[in-house]
Chains A and B, each alone.
Chain A
Amino acid sequence: MPPSPETVIEFRNVNKRFGATTAVDNVTFTVAAGETISLLGPSGCGKTTTLRLISGFEDPDEGTIEIAGESMVGKRPYERNVGLLFQHYALFPHMTVAENVAYGLKHRHWPKAEIGDRVRDMLRLVQLQGFESRRPGQMSGGQQQRVALARVLATRPRLVLLDEPLSALDAKLREELRLELKQILTAVGSTTIVVTHDQDEAMSLADRIVIMNRGRIEQQGTPDEIYMAPRSAFVAAFIGRTNWFHGRISSAPSDGYFRLTTEAGTTLAIRDPGAVGDDKRSICIRPERIELVGAESAAGKSGDNVLPGQVVDVVNMGAELHYIINAADGRIMIVEPNREGARVRKGDGVKLQFRAEDCVVLPQDAA
């Protein structure tokens, strides 16, 4: 089936094994023109192997990889017109910045006259005008990263691969460059795949996120979908912070809500429990969806869950306040914006309130 003209890369049912380990297990995804997706997951999840399969440094055992409709079977990396930004930049230390950026242009046989202009344009794009004759060894990490980016984008590749683009930088620099990177990629209109283990990087750079774990795709979706509607405990725990409740669906639905009873005896109102074999469920609720209410406040409307607890710790993170509460089912974390400082102190008795609609219901994982 020919892909629609906007699909830049189609990765279909790809398997890759190294000895006894399956690094990539039946992975399928596509990327449309102009889109930025992120392959996100812990180390060993297969994202780097996927990157190397796309760029041509590894060959798949099964499955197809098509770029712009062309099959990549047997194609060496230099025949793919794919750009790759290495995690540690891989700038040629014995060449100047200009020679580095021009390297791809030379080997794709751009006419000599145009190469000089193109190099200058790219350096201007990454805000390194005038750096032509410097050497990588004389530049800071952030500057090197920009040269690497210029080198990648110079040849106008159909697909741009970024391997942990910001991980080698310190935290402050990372935030600054993240925005710049996004602006540059949008300006150029490139189709991009970002490989990372850092969820902040993925959430901020990508239009769609593909979460991988142990060689498989756990879930694909927009950052919002992934965050608000995780489909497995792994995804829920990997992105953002979570609070967990584990229990059984206890009674038939009444007033539109199901009930879940935990081992500690707490009953929670939830929405659709999902069609899983047994009645065991895990509930995931995000810390910012829980409200801290006074111990004396009455229960809310139907569909509101109200639990008692005791404040164990109050952490002032500056922009946010974190409350750690001891409840019947264990530690609960609540996050709220810091408007007027902490409202409670350690040791206070409080009530937690959250809506059934905010509870994400998941099958209970063996883990």
Chain B
Amino acid sequence: MNGRLLDNGFRLLGLVMIGVILCFLLTPIIVTTVMAFDARAYLGPLPPPALSLRWFAQFFSDDYFLRGLSTSVQLAVLSVTISLCVGVTTAFAVERASFAGKEMLISLFLSPLLVPPVVTGFALLLFLSHLGLINGFARLLCGHIIITVPYTIRATLAGLAGIDRSLTEAALILGATERRAFWDVTLPLARTSIVSGAIFAFAVSMDDVAVSIMLTDANTFTLPVALISSMRANFDLSIAAASVMLMLVTLTLIVILEKFVGLNRVIGQGVFRS
């Protein structure tokens, strides 16, 4: 009897915990979304008396944010493109070879994931200053490349690992050279993983704060950096509008990811951010 009581007690506790945590996860999101449409010009208690798009208008008319957005998008596109080239070639080179230190080499290439982003940014800043590179965009690009490359490498490696070795061998014995087998068999089959890696890299680049904040200069800054400065200076609801926009971007990325790759594959390979 005692056991059953405890069982029910624990079950109830579990359900309560699940309810609490789901509320906790959702509430800030919901509050922000609602407040983004608040018609008031100040931060007042919930619920907002009237709805309006004023904060969105303010966000889009703010030159500061728009410049940040433009820079962020340019950086993301550029760095992801370069990361893809670097990541895919590296992953292919490592995957094909089989030598003693292979695991270590892979860990080495994935090591930037372990370093606190502030440290990465700081180290890069000192190094690039020493080299005399002071252009803000170039510095930011370097930073964004190094934080996105581990994701493209990891995603490509995961995709390659899923390709049965005998498929490449089948191509070879049927008359294809190594290069043709790569184009005909390996690349098409790894394509979905490579795309998922690109999407992750894009999200990482758009969202990065710590590295960007170290490498930014007065003229060149990313949207997250702009948002943070704005938050510290003037905590108003235009940032709520920006948040809703970013949420939409995230949702779009997720939908693309689900259509292209399937989310189960993403979880299974552990390619998600860590």
Find out whether A and B make contact in their complex, taking CB atoms under 8 A apart as touching: yes
Chain A positions near chain B (C-beta within 8 angstroms): 55-57, 76-78, 80, 82-84, 86-88, 90-94, 103-104, 106-108, 151, 155
A78 touches B176 (CB 8 A): yes
B173 at the interface (CB under 8 A from A): yes
A-B contact pairs, 9 of them (CB 8 A): A57-B169, A77-B169, A78-B177, A83-B173, A84-B169, A90-B166, A90-B167, A92-B170, A94-B189
- Output the least CB separation between A167 and chain B (Å): 14
- Output the least CB separation between B166 and chain A (Å): 4
Given contacts A94-B188, A107-B180, contact A84 B170 (CB under 8 A): yes
**A77: which of B166, B167, B172 is its contact (CB, 8 Å)?**
B172
A151 touches B169 (CB 8 A): no
Interface class of chain A by DSSP? loop
Q: What is the bound-complex CA distance between A216 and B215, given in angstroms?
A: 66
A107 touches B176 (CB 8 A): yes
Given contacts A90-B164, A93-B189, A94-B189, contact A103 B169 (CB under 8 A): no
A107 touches B189 (CB 8 A): no
- Output the least CB separation between A87 and chain B (Å): 8
Interface class of chain B by DSSP? helix
B20 at the interface (CB under 8 A from A): no
Q: What is the bound-complex CA distance between A80 and B167, given in angstroms?
A: 18
B175 touches A155 (CB 8 A): yes
With a cutoff of 8 Å between Cβ atoms, the chain A residues found around residue B184 in the complex are: 92, 103
B185: nearest chain-A partner, CB-CB: A92
B173 touches A77 (CB 8 A): yes
Given contacts A86-B166, A90-B164, A90-B167, contact A78 B172 (CB under 8 A): yes
B266 at the interface (CB under 8 A from A): no
Q: What is the bound-complex CA distance between A151 and B176, given in angstroms?
A: 14
B172 touches A108 (CB 8 A): no
B168: nearest chain-A partner, CB-CB: A90
Q: What is the bound-complex CA distance between A32 and B167, given in angstroms?
A: 29
Given contacts A93-B189, A94-B189, contact A88 B173 (CB under 8 A): no
B185 touches A104 (CB 8 A): no
B146 at the interface (CB under 8 A from A): no
With a cutoff of 8 Å between Cβ atoms, the chain B residues found around residue A56 in the complex are: 172-173
Q: What is the bound-complex CA distance between A208 and B198, given in angstroms?
A: 55
With a cutoff of 8 Å between Cβ atoms, the chain B residues found around residue A76 in the complex are: 172, 177
With a cutoff of 8 Å between Cβ atoms, the chain B residues found around residue A55 in the complex are: 173
A155 touches B174 (CB 8 A): yes
- Output the least CB separation between A260 and chain B (Å): 50
